Every structure is written in C-alpha cells, then in structure tokens.
Amino acid sequence: MDAPKQEKRDAASHNSQSGYTDDEFEFLKAVEKWRRENRIQFPTWVQILNVAKSLGYRKPEHVTESDCIVQDAEQTPNTQAAKEPSLFD
C-alpha cells in the first residue's frame, strides 16, 4: 500500500476516535511533520510557536496570559482535568 495513503487513513481514523478538533489535529500533524523534516525529537517552545505561526496563528493584541488560561480551561471537554492544579500555578 502507498505510504501517504496509509498515513492519511491512519490520521483520519485517529482524528475521529481521539476527540481532537480539526484545528487541534491539524496542529498535531504540522508539529509531527516539522519534527520528521528537521529530525528533532523534542522541539523547543520557540520551534512549536513557529509551527503554529506557519499555520496562521497570530496572538490578538488584547489577549493576556490570564485570558488564555481561563479560555483553555473553559474549552477543555474533560472538566476534571481542567480543575486539577498545575505545577506552574
């Protein structure tokens, strides 16, 4: 079987079963592609940010760090996980 076709099938199957949104899955695939192309197992946060920017991400000027934390917790489907304390709190 052709490798890209198999990869596409695997990705579609994983996306439907994983609970990721289309945007989240697109981001995960972009990071994996970048890692393979650059042969880097553990990218830095700067490298991850560059991948996000390559997909069109731009931080709105009016958003603060605390806005991002609250918004992320509200959008998390697993509310139990969102309520658990972080090591960085």
Other C-beta atoms closer than 10 Å to the C-beta of 35 total: 15
Instruction: Provide, rounded to the nearest whole percent, the portion of the chain with pLDDT above 70.
Output: 56
Q: What is the pLDDT of residue 16?
A: 61
What average pLDDT does the segment 36-44 reach? 96
Query: Chain centroid to CA 16: how far?
Result: 16
The answer to which of 3-12, 25-34, 53-62, 76-85 has the lowest mean pLDDT is 76-85
Whether 11 has a pLDDT exceeding 70, the answer reads no
Q: How confident is the model at residue 79 (pLDDT cuts 50, 70, 90)?
A: very low
Whether 49 has a pLDDT exceeding 50, the answer reads yes
Cα–Cα distance, 87 to 89 (Å, whole number): 6
What average pLDDT does the segment 19-43 reach? 95
Sequence spans of domains, the chain: 3-83
- What is the three-class DSSP state of 89? coil
Count of positions (residues) in the chain: 89
